[in-house]
Amino acid sequence: MAEAETVATALQTVAESTERLLRTVAELDPARVDEPSALPDWSRGHVLAHLARNADSLVNLLEGARTGRDIPQYASETAREEGIRTGAPRPLAEQLADLRASGERFTAAAARMSEADWSAPVRHRSGAVFPARQLLAKRRQEVEYHHVDLAAGYTPEHWPEDFAVAELLRLAGQFGVESVPAVLLVAEDSGTRAQLGPVGAAAGLTIEGPVRRITAWVSGRSAGDDLRVHRGGQPVPGAARALPELPPLG
């Protein structure tokens, strides 16, 4: 029962994130869909096409988990890229309809899953294998991050706090590697603390600020110039210049 409740909660957060995205897209000036997004070389149309095709790709993984068949997330990397490229120049009304329909297909596929199905392993396009229930968090990540990437008025300040906290902890784990300097992250509003860099290493810098702003920097959605940086207990002026450069997210 506890796991079923967790799945239901995760599905609700995906639905809420998707509804916020749909409202933003519905209010977008149709003439602006071809304008640049916050992602290099991608228009807003590229972001919208990617979000729709991502939903369908996760439907593939859900179906594989439910049926026991090996269904790849995408037919191929070429097919993935082609879906984004050909979908990008469509009119806004078509983009919105596709985004809504693909989200409904994802919801319907999730509704067909049994409690046991959510524990079935799925293989992400990155090669990572994990239980199907993690697809719910991954879809929420796609929607929340790329909603910001649309550069259409939705910013990290709009992220739900639980999303920002969960992502800060997840990304800190991803950056817990030797190639990243040891940095302590302190979110003063949520009370969240996390560390980048090698586990157990003494942090050379402490970065403080609201959890949404720290997560925005760690996720590459902010330069971090609105954060406070301390070294040895002393404030470091010019926070953005003092912050370490993080490797790109996979």
**DSSP helix, strand, coil percent of the chain (3-state; round to 5):** 50, 10, 35
Instruction: Please determine whether the domains at 2-154 and 161-242 fall in the same fold group of CATH.
Output: no
Give dist(CA 63, CA 68) in Å, integer.
Answer: 8
Give dist(CA 203, CA 183) in Å, integer.
Answer: 5
- 3-state SS class at 28: coil
What residues does each domain of the chain span?
2-154, 161-242
Predicted pLDDT at 3: 64
CATH number of the domain at 2-154, out of 3.30.465.10, 2.40.50.100, 1.20.1250.20, 1.20.120.450? 1.20.120.450
**Cβ neighbours of 219 (radius 10 Å):** 21
Query: Residue 234 pLDDT > 70, yes or no?
Result: yes
Across the range 190-206, mean pLDDT stands at 94
Per the DSSP assignment, residues forming a β-bridge with 187 are 209
CATH number assigned to the domain covering 161-242? 3.30.1050.20
**Percentage of the chain lying above the pLDDT 70 cut:** 98
Helix (H) or strand (E) holding 184: strand 183-187
Predicted pLDDT at 233: 84
Across the range 100-122, mean pLDDT stands at 98
pTM for the predicted model, two decimal places: 0.95
What would the pLDDT profile of 29-60 be if each residue is shown by its tens digit? 999 999 999 999 999 999 999 999 999 999 99
Give dist(CA 199, CA 146) in Å, integer.
Answer: 30
